[in-house]
Amino acid sequence: MKPTEDHDARVRLDKWLWAARFYKHRTQATEAVDGGKIQLNGIRVKPARDVKIGDRIDIQIGDSHFCVEVKGIADKRGSATIAQSLYEETADSVAAREAQREQRKLAATPGSDIHGRPTKRDRRQIGRMMGGD
């Protein structure tokens, strides 16, 4: 499926998100829009809202936040290269995701903090220090 670059072309928001490969299933895209994870031009909308070329879509997937501008319209899911031609991520969005990625690298891995539950070895050492056998 070749993306349309006709400025009058429109497609449902949930279909576009699925065709652009932000979500694996159209149902997931619909649930994300209903759940407020997607904003079209800064406004929370319904899944049936039409998307047209030039619109800005804010997408929240887990900890990642994408801000993309619609460059093409497709209502069918195609290859990844076609999907990437449907949108262009803003420079601010790319920079924010890079900063978040660097911050995650510097963060401690879960379960490695000092104040967590003591291991069996730690409990034995604590017992020895307290004078128990």
Query: pLDDT tens track of the chain, all 133 residues?
Result: 567 666 668 899 999 999 999 999 999 999 999 999 999 999 999 999 999 999 999 999 988 899 999 999 998 999 999 999 999 999 999 999 999 888 888 876 666 666 678 889 988 999 999 887 6
User: In the structure encoding, which two tokens stand for residue 13, read together?
Assistant: 């928001």
Contact residues for 22 (Cβ-Cβ < 8 A; gap 6+): 29, 59, 61, 66
Candidates 74, 76, 17; CA nearest to 45 is 17
* Plot region of 111 (φ>0 → left; ψ -120 to 50 → alpha; else → beta): left
The CATH code for residues 1-92 is 3.10.290.10
